[in-house]
Amino acid sequence: MPVSLSRGRRRNVNPSLRSTGIFLLILVIGTSGYMLLHGGDAVIPDEPERTESERYDTTETDLDDYMWPTNAGHTRTSDFAEFRSTHFHAGIDISTGGKTGYDIYAARAGWLHSAYFEPAGYGWFLVLRHADGYHTCYAHLERYSDRVLNAFREQLRKDDRSYGYVRWTDDTVRVSKGEVIAYSGKTGAGPAHIHFEVRDRDFNPVNPGLSRNLRPRDSIPPEMRQLCIVPLDASSSVDGKFDQQMYRVAGGGSSWRVKAVPVISGRAGLMLRAHDRANTASDYPTPYKITLYADGKEILSTVSNRFSDSLGFHIRIDRDNALMRKKKGELRKLYREEGNVLETYWPRDIEAGVLSAAHLGAGEKRLMVIAEDLSGNRSMLTVTVLIESDMQLEHKQSGSVLTMYTNDACRQLLIEEKGTRGWDLLRRWDADMAMRGTELDLARYRGRTLRAVTIDSTGNSTVQGYWTPGVGKRSAGRLYTKHYIHFDEIIYDLKLAVPFAAPPKVEIAQAGVVKPGRVFPFAPDHYRAVLPTWPGFAGAGEVRVTYSAGRNPITWTDKVEGFHISAAYGGQLRSPDGRFVMSFAPNDVYRSMLCILTPSSDSVGTRWSVGPSDIPLAGRPLVSILPSKRSASMMVTAPRPTKNYGKVDIPNSPAVAGRFGRWLGSYGLLQDDVGPEISAGFAFRSREPIRIHVSDNASGVDWSSIAVYIDKFLVPVEYDERRDVLFVPYDVYKDIGKGMLTIRAKDRLGNVSVFKKNM
């Protein structure tokens, strides 16, 4: 059976490309013009043909109608779409100099829409709705204005609740542009500051800086800090290495460059670390717009106008999660991942931004990255890369005769022999002869080390494999392996104590399907094998490695288990006993991957761990577990950092189900038949607030269910972050007087607790 060999580690780069003088240096003039300052003929970047309109239209709202929302000053400390550990930053942050109590103004005329308190998040939060359907949001507030506070309490009373999320369903409470609606504070996450957002009709965050009135003064172009080139699959490499490669950026002002000439084999993408300073801002956000050109043609653009509210956690897809976890910096991807549905990327093609011979053609490619801020300041980064042709070699051996075939990407095939000072040329075939097939009698080279090298039209050479006829012995043919999973591919490191007689053949079989793998030579005794998985791969599979150490072939096998989850089609994990099922919809993962399911038992019962746990999820897969005895007081749980999005009822099914996101984790069943614990303390004469503590260490408290009564009067409660308690302010209950204090609360499974105490 012919075996496909792939690129090795030898790379030749045209020395002329290493000259730092041969690159385009382009000065950006205004917002659209380019002037050539140094290099060959000017190349004006082409605008791509767009067959559909952009989803976001800035004419949806009157951007000039917005006003700055505070008297605390105009210093911005965080920008729109900045990185947060679990989400894109949905607005801008405004400095209050560490103080609280500044006026918060309604940025436009409108109506009260919603209000609530979010501990360790937004704190006190207020939303206004405006006539065009857009919203403005104000967070980390110290308190609402008296008018807003009274409306908030009245709506709670109408909803028969004392605490939680308030939504004004009708346009009943109107506010004027510039009206004081709240006061700045330090509630929720972070120190004292103001968080301000603009959201569209569907409540998706929109960049406030699109309004001239809501962005800082800025005359500073973005600063390019670091460039990374990443292989996009396990068969691709950069400069002969199969992992990410970092490159230093030189220059300053608005002109930057990478002096190195990286060599790309297979598919790769750029990642950029860039900062966008502003005159009246203290933050270092990524630029508002980044555009990637290849030989003057736009191949990717990312613009931070808006993102879907449901895709906030996709920050871990937009930036490189692996590098951030290693604290290597925040790098923005300039290519589209397989399951990336963020509308900030254009075009929608999954190959957008991908650097490959199939997509861009082989050879030298002059890449240009232009970063732009909302004030029109631009910076440019240039780098020349060499994209290798996809050269492949098939070979088979009959007796001592080796037959080799190349594909049409190869211009020459060489056979070289290892000598005392390096590699000496033995045979050479041109493209036509190599494609038709060439033969070599290995008996003539017994005891020697040979290698096959292919050369493409750019002069780049690739080692395709090694042959050492008659060198090894079967007794020395033990195979030493290590393997790991890279998304949906399985990688094996193959080593012998002696050289392989010929390149090994690898394949993987599962449920009657057999697929070949690819091998990449490092040395005569060392190969890398890459094996695919595919939609429908579920359960146990077998990996087979066939190799020779001497004359006799040896077959080595290994068992692998997993479930292929496709970004395009989804997939399912199922335990052997059928009790545990995890279902993925299309785009629940941003890149196809092989998931591992491991059951375990603890004092509570059986849990099922699903990995890999270090790759972020794009969606919210459904987990269902079949209990030994069904109960309405059961729910599926998973510890942090997995996020529980709530219980799901499956009609006519005995299974207990829930949706989970952000990360894969460990899942199990929790039974909770007891309502929350409630306690309260008060001293009527001291004018202290009534302090209320509600907790539930099982399913958790349903905070929207809390209702507090003094006799028959429903009273509103607030939250004290410092003490972590709810409280009824004295001014709320002083006119009611003493009476029976009744507190009602539910947990997330609906269990109710009632606390009563005579005041």
Q: What is the pLDDT of residues 321-379, one digit of tens each?
A: 888 888 788 899 999 998 888 889 999 888 999 999 999 999 999 999 999 999 999 99
What's residue 708's pLDDT? 94
Coil, helix or strand for 578?
coil
What backbone torsions phi and psi does residue 190 show, to the nearest 5 degrees? Answer: 90, 175
- The beta-strand segments (E) located in 643-700 are 643-648, 656-661, 666-671, 677-681, 690-695
Quick one: average pLDDT of 693-699? 92
Strand partners, 593: 565
- The residue among 34 and 744 whose pLDDT is bigger is 744
Encode burial over 670-688: b for 16+ CB neighbours within 10 A, e otherwise. bbbeebbebebebeeeeee
Q: With beta carbons less than 8 A apart as the criterion, state whether 477 and 549 touch.
A: yes
User: What pLDDT digit, counting tens, does each position of 48-65 carry?
Assistant: 443 333 455 666 899 999
CB atoms within 10 A of CB 371: 26
Q: How far apart are CA 427 and CA 423, in angstroms?
A: 12
Q: Given a cut of 50, is residue 35 above it in pLDDT?
A: no
Cβ 471 vs Cβ 499: under 8 Å: yes
The dotted CATH code for 677-758 is 2.60.40
**Which pair of structure tokens corresponds to residue 410?**
């190869």
Q: What is the pLDDT of residues 710-735, one digit of tens each?
A: 998 999 998 888 888 899 988 888 87
What's the token pair of residue 749? 């499974």
Confidence of residue 559 (pLDDT cuts 50, 70, 90): very high
Beta strand segments in 649-688, E: 656-661, 666-671, 677-681
Give me the sign of the Cα torsion angle 147, 148, 150, 155: positive
pLDDT band at 384; cut points 50, 70, 90: very high
Q: Given 2.60.120.580, 2.70.70.10, 3.40.50.150, 3.40.50.300, which CATH number is that of 58-214?
A: 2.70.70.10
Across residues 487-495, what is the average pLDDT? 98
Q: Can you tell me the distance from the alpha carbon of 251 to that of 272, in angstroms, rounded to the nearest whole number?
A: 15
What does the chain come to in residues?
A: 759
> What's the rounded mean pLDDT across residues 204-233?
95
pLDDT digits (tens, 9 = 90+) for 289-325: 999 999 999 999 999 999 999 898 888 889 888 888 8
Q: Which residue has the higher pLDDT, 539 or 737?
A: 539
390-467 and 677-758 have identical folds: yes
Q: What is the mean pLDDT of the chain?
A: 89
Which pair of structure tokens corresponds to residue 697?
């260490």
The predicted structure's pLDDT at residue 475 = 57
Domain locations in the chain? 15-44+218-387, 58-214, 390-467, 474-559, 566-671, 677-758
Query: Any residues with CB less than 8 A from the CB of 187 and at least 6 apart, and which?
Result: 117, 123, 124, 140, 141, 142, 721
Q: Is 474-559 CATH 2.60.40.1930?
A: yes
Place of tokens 């809501």: 214
Say how far apart CA 497 and CA 710 lie, in whole Å.
83
- The percent of residues in the chain predicted with pLDDT above 70, rounded, is 91
In this structure, what are the phi and psi dihedrals at residue 353, rounded to the nearest 5 degrees? 85, -5
- Residue 119 is predicted with a pLDDT of 86
Q: pLDDT, tens digit, for every residue of 473-485?
A: 655 678 999 999 9
Q: Which of 339-353, 556-570, 617-631, 678-692 has the lowest mean pLDDT?
A: 678-692
Each residue of 715-725: b (16+ CB within 10 Å) or e?
bbbbbeeeeeb
Q: In whole angstroms, what is the distance from residue 234 CA to residue 677 CA?
A: 53
Ramachandran angles phi, psi of 64, nearest 5°: -80, -10
Q: Tell me the CATH architecture of domain 566-671.
A: Sandwich (2.60)
CATH placement of domain 390-467: 2.60.40.10
pLDDT level of residue 43 (50, 70, 90 thresholds): very low
CA distance 23 to 44: 14
**Euclidean distance between CA atoms 15 and 455, whole angstroms:** 16
Give the CB-side neighbour count of residue 651, counting CA atoms within 13 A: 0
pLDDT surpasses 70 at 75: yes
Q: Which range has the worst mean pLDDT, 294-298, 537-541, 597-601?
A: 597-601
CB 562 within 8 A of CB 533: yes
Residue 145 backbone dihedrals phi, psi, to 5 degrees: -65, 160
pLDDT of residue 336: 93
Residue 52 per-residue DSSP state: S
Question: Minimal CA–CA distance to 354: which of 378, 330, 333, 332?
Answer: 333
Alpha helices, DSSP H, located in 64-135: none
CA–CA distance from 481 to each of 94, 484, 558 (Å)? Answer: 55, 10, 10
Query: pTM of the predicted model, to two decimals?
Result: 0.86
- Regarding beta strands 205-206 and 193-199, do their DSSP bridges make them parallel or antiparallel, or are they unpaired? antiparallel
pLDDT at 472: 60
pLDDT at 82 exceeding the cut of 60:
yes
